[in-house]
Amino acid sequence: MDFTSGMFKPVIDKCEGCDRIVEAEAAKYCRTYANPAAKWKIGLCNFATHAKPEIAATKIRVNPLKAAKRASKAKK
């Protein structure tokens, strides 16, 4: 690929550490996406190999009376 043709934009600081970065003529480019800054504008880049999305687990509050009724129905 010809990264210096002007079609590819250099990577931004959020891309540092990604395995998809290649160096060409003293600049770093993403070999997967032409404009890396656009991928990070919305949030996390889906091509990033160094950053993983955080999955937040929420605890559900269960009414103990309803849980006891459901458990008794399931035993019958």
The domain of 31 spans 3-75
Query: What burial letters (b/e) apply to 32-48, b meaning 16+ CB within 10 Å?
Result: bbeebeebbeeeebeeb
Instruction: Check whether 19 has a pLDDT greater than 80.
Output: yes
Element (H, E) at 75: helix 64-75
Average pLDDT of the residues in 10-22: 91
pLDDT category of residue 33 using cuts at 50, 70 and 90: confident
Cα Rg, the chain, nearest whole Å: 24
Tokens representing 19 are 């395995």
Q: What is the pLDDT of residue 76?
A: 61
| Residues 43-76 pLDDT 10s | 888 888 888 777 778 888 889 898 888 888 877 6
Task: Report the pLDDT value the prediction gives residue 51, as an integer from 0 to 100.
Answer: 81
Q: How many domains does the chain have?
A: 1
